[in-house]
Chains A and B, each alone.
Chain A
């Protein structure tokens, strides 16, 4: 079945630095991937939709210059948090639509998430 891998799982950085998070679809091609962030005890919040070969679509209130998304291939999307600040500390999760083995019903598969702590 479809698998999505996300890296790194945990990152601690200094304020002002940039952090890149990778999201890979391991055994399927994902023309569209989604990036979410989740604060403690809150629900997933969609940040942007990443489209292979074109610009990402950002949700209202999400700064595209701060959260750079690149989807250069059918299996890789990256999210770069630029000039990170402590308020950017969060759990970032990617997902892609795939198909469970033996079914023809699409579902969202999630990466393992990346916990960012900005000091």
Chain B
């Protein structure tokens, strides 16, 4: 079983839509969780960390469910510029980071 699993998508949504991605992780000792965004042929960049209590940054909301071992990312009012691949990253001790395969989002006019 993979350490981190994501639905590869693609998710094709119209502008203004709300879209959500989930990511499951297998190691119950995982401590820190992140969502990264990767544009085509570019390096990943941090979108947001995921805190136990859940956190929001503008149109983006991240949630952690430790009991079911998944994290989620919700994007409201999608913009064309949100089109990218969203990577789920999990670590237990910051010595090793596990990446999901990424979920591709296409926001269409």
On A, residues with C-beta under 8 Å from B are 6, 32, 34, 42-44, 46, 49, 91, 93, 95, 97, 100, 105-113, 115
Query: Does the CB pair A113–B87 fall under 8 Å?
Result: no
Interface size on B, residues (CB 8 A): 20
Known contacts A43-B102, A108-B34, A108-B89; A113/B43 CB under 8 A: yes
Q: Chain B residues near A100: list those with CB within 8 A.
A: 46
Query: Does the CB pair B43–A111 fall under 8 Å?
Result: yes
Nearest CB of chain A from residue B83's CB, rounded to whole Å: 15
Known: A105-B49, A112-B43, A113-B42. 10 other contacts (CB 8 A): A43-B99, A43-B100, A44-B44, A44-B87, A49-B95, A93-B44, A95-B97, A106-B32, A109-B46, A111-B43
Which one of A6, A43, A91, A108 contacts B97 once the chains associate, using CB atoms below 8 Å?
A: A108
Query: Does the CB pair A32–B95 fall under 8 Å?
Result: yes
Interface of A: prevailing SS: strand
For residue A97, which residue of chain B has the nearest CB?
B94
* B101 located at the interface, meaning its Cβ lies under 8 Å from any Cβ of chain A in the complex: yes
Which one of B43, B46, B102 contacts A93 once the chains associate, using CB atoms below 8 Å?
A: B43
On B, residues with C-beta under 8 Å from A are 32, 34, 36, 41-46, 49, 87, 89, 94-97, 99-102
Q: Chain B residues near A95: list those with CB within 8 A.
A: 97
CA distance in complex: A49, B91 (Å): 14
For residue B4, which residue of chain A has the nearest CB?
A43
CA distance in complex: A117, B107 (Å): 31
CA distance in complex: A32, B44 (Å): 18
Query: Does the CB pair A107–B34 fall under 8 Å?
Result: yes
The 8 A-B residue pairs with the shortest CB-CB distance, nearest first, are A43-B101, A110-B43, A113-B43, A44-B99, A107-B46, A43-B102, A110-B44, A93-B43
